Amino acid sequence: MDQLDAEIVRLLQADARQSNRELARTLGVAPSTCLERVRSLTRRGVIRGYHAEIDTAALNRGVQALVAVQIRPLSRSVIDAFSDFASALPEVLSTFVLSGGDDFVLHVGVPDLDRLHMFLTDRLAKRREVTGFRTSVIFKQVHQAVPERLPD
């Protein structure tokens, strides 16, 4: 990935709705060059899709939290079953399977602190495989652009 590719990625992350012509004009390259570069980035899997950024508060999810979860026993079937369970919950925005002291981190979005408490006590605490969890409320989320590929 060269500097032009990196700049294309940066610009598309800022506004994926811009036309190829606008993107090419900003980059100072021909539209055909720009289009071929974007297609190449897509073929190589660098660009995996285009997504709308959603305001979670507008979807009645004004309170967000990261919930670190520990489960036992640590077996493939228990990990897969909990991952499937957590990912299907409407409150869960993202599920991360980890190594280290925590086995999962759940990114949760709910309307208020009462609903967060209900989620923790009624959904997580009742699961037999859950041995513990810690919750951190998110005050602010800052999106970082994906950096250039690091050298090998």
Sole residue written with tokens 């041995």:
131
pLDDT in tens, 9-24: 989 988 999 999 999 9
Say if CB 57 and CB 42 are below 8 A apart: no
Say if CB 86 and CB 95 are below 8 A apart: yes
Q: Has residue 145 got a pLDDT over 80? A: no
Average pLDDT over residues 125-145: 91
Domain locations in the chain?
3-43, 56-138
| CATH number at 3-43 | 1.10.10.10
Hey, what are 126's tokens?
A: 């009742």
- For domain 56-138, give its CATH number from 3.30.70.920, 3.40.220.10, 3.30.200.20, 1.10.357.10: 3.30.70.920
* Residue 149 banded pLDDT, cuts 50, 70, 90: low
pLDDT in tens, 58-108: 999 999 999 999 999 999 999 999 999 999 999 999 999 999 999 999 999
Q: Could you tell me the pTM of the whole model?
A: 0.78
* Residue 142 banded pLDDT, cuts 50, 70, 90: confident
Average pLDDT over residues 121-130: 96
pLDDT in tens, 22-65: 999 999 999 999 999 999 999 999 999 988 888 888 999 999 99
C-alpha span between 93 and 83 (Å, rounded) = 13
By C-alpha distance, which of 136, 134, 137, 138 is closest to 102?
Answer: 134
